[in-house]
Structure 1
Amino acid sequence: MSPSEQHPPAFERIATGVPGLDPILGGGLVASGVYIVVGEPGAGKTLFANQLCYSQAQQGTRCLYVTLLAESHSRMLANLRSMAFFDASQLPQRIYYVSGFRMLEEQGLPGLLELLRREMRNHGAGILVLDGLVQAQEAAGSSRDFKKFIHELQVSAGLSRFTALLLTSSVGPTVHPEYTMVDGILELRERTAAMRSWRELQVRKFRGSASLNGAHHFRISEAGLEVFPRLETMVSRSQPPDWGTQRVRFGVPTLDAMIPEGFAAASTTLVMGPPGCGKTILGVSHLAEGLRLGEPCLMVSFYEGPDRLMHKAANVGLSLASAVKDGRLVLQWNMPAECNLDLVAHSLLEDVRRRGVKRLFVDGLSAMVETTHEPARISPFFAALTQELRRHGVTTVFTLETPRLFGPDMDVPLGTGLSGVAENLLFMRHLELNGRLRRLLSIFKLRDADYDPTLREFLITSQGIEIQPPFQPSPELLLTGIARFPGNHS
């Protein structure tokens, strides 16, 4: 067996320093491997490679960064200075930049290979970055010469125990036949739909361990690259604990009376209804009851900011300010303009794990459904999200807006698949009764518990929510949204 085929043990890993990437790779890059990072100009390849180098330098590893007809080193460093990971003290002792273009022009691939070997040996480097592999590919006399170059580089990596990243622009096919020789291929790309754009990372190939399949979102910020693994690939496949013996209530006496046993802890409740029917106040009541019991709570909203939300809650006798101040309640607000599902899930689940959240209220699923650029993912995404929340024992209330205020037609957005992952389903709507607009609430589904199925008027007062006794008009008339009391024909 040749040295290039002798991989180090799977537990020897190189941390990339890119948040979220190492879990996708099964723990990081396999030591002494040769990896190709491919993507169009501006995809983030150079930033990714530098982020890895500075992360490894912090751990004492020396890194060699070789450029081929790329931006000048001074300009590269000027661009990196705004990044949080940049540390000028690592230059040039642990991170050393070299241009290999002249050697490539004068002596071709053999000369470039010799330069890489010599510089790696002189600096005792454990990380090699070759930025501009496409230039080496164009300088090769034939496909065979380029394959030989990659093979020799693999031999050197195996013998000298260094890990190599080869950065190349995607010209022609994303994966060339020569690329099959390397240990891994990571593709960075930018997608565009209508006027929206987003970035994705995909592991095309990875030797040494399993990796997470599919495309994963990433963003570029002052922190560098941040990758958000696709939730469907990260969720635990184990059966969540059975929390059904523990019961939970909304903390609204007249509503809890409709559910004598309460609903199951760690269950998911979906509240559907038109704008202004009281969905947000109902969800806030769910949190207020948890706070009263001393449970850590979290609210994720898309339409109303924290200040407006706390003001609205205070108007109905639900004070949240003290709980927010002492950290028992965290309010996460997301701009509804463009929704990254995995970023929302990452922030949400990070807080759930860190604080041991027991009650969660997500207000405004409609924003996620309408603004995501991946509508086909909504159903599997929420199935994975609710599975993970159940596993952590979180009792969750989601709200979903229906389009009609009132009328004989009810548009229930079951096409999203959310009703299939919600154990409990509450429906709210408006009713025009004798020239007055009223709110109605009904329980459509409650798993593993008895409930009162009657239609009830839902009042919002300065003291909170009150559920009225069953209406006298017939249910058939109530469901049209326009009703009259018996005997009233006016």
Structure 2
Amino acid sequence: MDTKSTGIPGLDEILGGGIPQPSTILIAGNPGTGRTTLGIQSLCYAAREGEKVLYVCPTTKSESSVREILSGYDFYEESLNIRTYNISSVERDPLTMLVDLGNAVASLNPDRVLIDPVTPIGFGFPEAERRRFMYSLNSAINDWNAIVYMTGTMTTVEMCRSVITDIADGVIYLSQKIERVHTDRRLRVVKFSGMSYLSGEHFFEISASGTHLYPRIQVPVPKPEWNSERTGFGIEELEKFMGGGLFRQSSTLLAGNTGTGKTLFGLQFIVDGARKGEPGIISSFEETPGEIRHYAANFGMDIKELEERDLVRILCVAPSEINACKHAAELQEHIEAIGARRIVLDDISGFDHAFGDCSEKRKHLSNLIRIFKDKDVTSLFISGNMAAGSDPLVSEIPISSFVDNLILMRNLEIESDIKKALYILKMHGSIHEKRLISYYIDSEGIHIGEFLKDR
């Protein structure tokens, strides 16, 4: 069997490469989940590729009305063949529809067919007769030698009980959860005969351009070798205290209270790399690109000039809008596009809006770390979700247990003065300074000072 692309971003990856021809695919879900959009988008893609496609639509609308609705999508193709059937008639007399549809398919010989929806067909029959009709429909479909999509309005319970899931080669289930400011849409493959598909739930979005899927993160197998090269912030005194700097491909958590300069350390890390020919990415959940550029310029760092040379890219997503899988996919696209070697996520509390519990957040961040290591990227995670005056040595800090390096930052009151101090709590595989180190920030940037006693 030939494998055909669905033409839907992300879906081929989930399905293991595409859809075999011939095959029958059920796209199920509750109303409003995007079943029709998914099917029509794939038909229109195939039409653009020169395939013959047929849209079979049991409806109360005319063909011209259906075309008018579909034309609102950017992907719509005028060459799409549409055949409408009165929905009340197909509920009572589906055999007449089946005969007419068989003639239409014999005349057109389509490569792909969408029956949308299939669930009302024969709805007026007793269940036993309806099952027999569905087997007849399946026999006809087997003679078409085409990719046949069928959509169905079903809950998960109804899907499991339906005869349609038995006759389909593949079953895709769509779901949605309407949040206060956005809709959380997910897709999962229930079965897909003959293909090695990616299990689990995958996020997707629907817009005028169609459906865009973001496959869940696939964690790469850890590399057996350890990169012994060093990198850092471009601050000589600090790197000396680190035993020579951060190891390449390592992950670092920079945690501390408000006002300790965590963002500035992150910018320093990225700019130092860019100046050395190592492109970097700044992922921010709170500040806009303009705010980041302005803040960096106050300390002598020209982020805009580095962006123009494609040595730095800024990705900003509001916490309330974050989709974790989409965000991960965008990060990977930027890494590949500029050959990034450094990345900063500022700050990871932004993921709180994307996950219902801390364990899911930790799992996602752990997966990101593995991806960055696999792509030869040194990562810096910033965490600022600690109350002012709290002791970072005893505070629960997300991902602190599985990052390679942990640097804690705090404000100290010493003789009526506020001093900034950092503590290198751990560095895997490296000797490092274990005393409290003072630092200060002025218009020229970050300066490392003397050792302090924590009183």
Cα drift, residue 24 of structure 1: 0.8
Aligned with 1:217: secondary structure?
strand
* Pair 1:78-2:68 in alignment: yes
* Pair 1:118-2:103 in alignment: yes
1:327 matched residue in structure 2: 310
The 5-angstrom pairing of residues 57-76 of structure 1 reads: 57-69=47-59, 71-76=61-66
Cα drift, residue 434 of structure 1: 2.3
Q: Is the 8 A contact 1:185 1:205 kept in 2?
A: yes
2:34 matched residue in structure 1: 44
Q: Is the 8 A contact 1:402 1:413 kept in 2?
A: no
Please give the alpha-carbon distance, in whole angstroms, between the structure 2 residues aligned to 1:204 and 1:319: 50
Cα drift, residue 81 of structure 1: 2.7
1:387 matched residue in structure 2: 370
2:120 matched residue in structure 1: 135
CA distance change for structure 1 residues 407 and 154 in 2, over 3 Å: closer, same or farther? closer
Please give the alpha-carbon distance, in whole angstroms, between the structure 1 residues aligned to 2:16 and 2:392: 50
2:145 matched residue in structure 1: 161
CA distance change for structure 1 residues 385 and 73 in 2, over 3 Å: closer, same or farther? farther
Q: Is the 8 A contact 2:439 2:450 kept in 1?
A: no
Please give the alpha-carbon distance, in whole angstroms, between the structure 1 residues aligned to 2:99 and 2:299: 75
Cα deviation digits, residues 412-455 of structure 1 (max 9, x gap): 333x4x12331011111111222222211110110111111111
1:313 matched residue in structure 2: 296
Q: Output the aligned Cα RMSD.
A: 2.1
1:17 matched residue in structure 2: 7
Cα drift, residue 223 of structure 1: 1.8
2:433 matched residue in structure 1: 452
Please give the alpha-carbon distance, in whole angstroms, between the structure 2 residues aligned to 1:168 and 1:71: 18
CA distance change for structure 1 residues 374 and 47 in 2, over 3 Å: closer, same or farther? farther
Q: Is the 8 A contact 2:73 2:210 kept in 1?
A: yes
Q: Is the 8 A contact 1:84 1:222 kept in 2?
A: yes
The 5-angstrom pairing of residues 99-110 of structure 1 reads: 99-101=84-86, 104-105=89-90, 108-110=93-95
* Pair 1:188-2:188 in alignment: no
- Select 2:410's aligned residue among 417, 429, 448: 429
Aligned with 2:123: secondary structure?
helix
Cα drift, residue 352 of structure 1: 1.0
Please give the alpha-carbon distance, in whole angstroms, between the structure 2 residues aligned to 1:114 and 1:375: 56
CA distance change for structure 1 residues 346 and 409 in 2, over 3 Å: closer, same or farther? closer
Cα deviation digits, residues 293-322 of structure 1 (max 9, x gap): 111211110111111111111111222121
Gapped regions of structure 2 (runs ≥ 5): none
Cα drift, residue 125 of structure 1: 0.5
* Pair 1:217-2:203 in alignment: yes
Aligned with 1:86: secondary structure?
coil
Cα drift, residue 113 of structure 1: 1.8
The 5-angstrom pairing of residues 330-369 of structure 1 reads: 330-369=313-352
Please report the TM-score for the alignment, with normalisation by the length of structure 1.
Answer: 0.87
Q: Is the 8 A contact 2:90 2:120 kept in 1?
A: no
User: Which range is displaced more, 280-289 or 12-21?
Assistant: 12-21
Q: Which amino acid aligns with 1:435?
A: S
Q: Is the 8 A contact 1:33 1:154 kept in 2?
A: no
Identity in percent: 25
1:201 matched residue in structure 2: 187
CA distance change for structure 1 residues 335 and 98 in 2, over 3 Å: closer, same or farther? same
Please give the alpha-carbon distance, in whole angstroms, between the structure 2 residues aligned to 1:53 and 1:117: 19
Please give the alpha-carbon distance, in whole angstroms, between the structure 2 residues aligned to 1:394 and 1:374: 27
- Select 1:465's aligned residue among 427, 446, 449: 446
Cα drift, residue 268 of structure 1: 0.5
Cα drift, residue 183 of structure 1: 0.8
Please report the TM-score for the alignment, with normalisation by the length of structure 2.
Answer: 0.94
- Select 1:302's aligned residue among 285, 303, 307: 285
Cα deviation digits, residues 230-263 of structure 1 (max 9, x gap): 11xx232x23263422111210122112123222
Q: Which amino acid aligns with 1:284?
A: L
Q: Is the 8 A contact 2:248 2:378 kept in 1?
A: yes
Cα deviation digits, residues 162-211 of structure 1 (max 9, x gap): 11111111266233241222111111111246776311111112111122
Q: Is the 8 A contact 1:386 1:421 kept in 2?
A: no
Q: Is the 8 A contact 1:430 1:440 kept in 2?
A: yes
CA distance change for structure 1 residues 106 and 154 in 2, over 3 Å: closer, same or farther? closer
Cα deviation digits, residues 396-415 of structure 1 (max 9, x gap): 1010113211156866333x
Please give the alpha-carbon distance, in whole angstroms, between the structure 1 residues aligned to 2:172 and 2:89: 25
Please give the alpha-carbon distance, in whole angstroms, between the structure 2 residues aligned to 1:334 and 1:379: 19
CA distance change for structure 1 residues 439 and 111 in 2, over 3 Å: closer, same or farther? same
Cα drift, residue 137 of structure 1: 4.4
Please give the alpha-carbon distance, in whole angstroms, between the structure 2 residues aligned to 1:71 and 1:442: 69
Aligned with 1:37: secondary structure?
strand
Aligned with 1:300: secondary structure?
strand
How many residues in Structure 1 have an aligned counterpart in Structure 2?
453
Please give the alpha-carbon distance, in whole angstroms, between the structure 2 residues aligned to 1:98 and 1:148: 24
Please give the alpha-carbon distance, in whole angstroms, between the structure 2 residues aligned to 1:186 and 1:106: 24
Aligned with 1:55: secondary structure?
helix
Cα drift, residue 348 of structure 1: 0.4
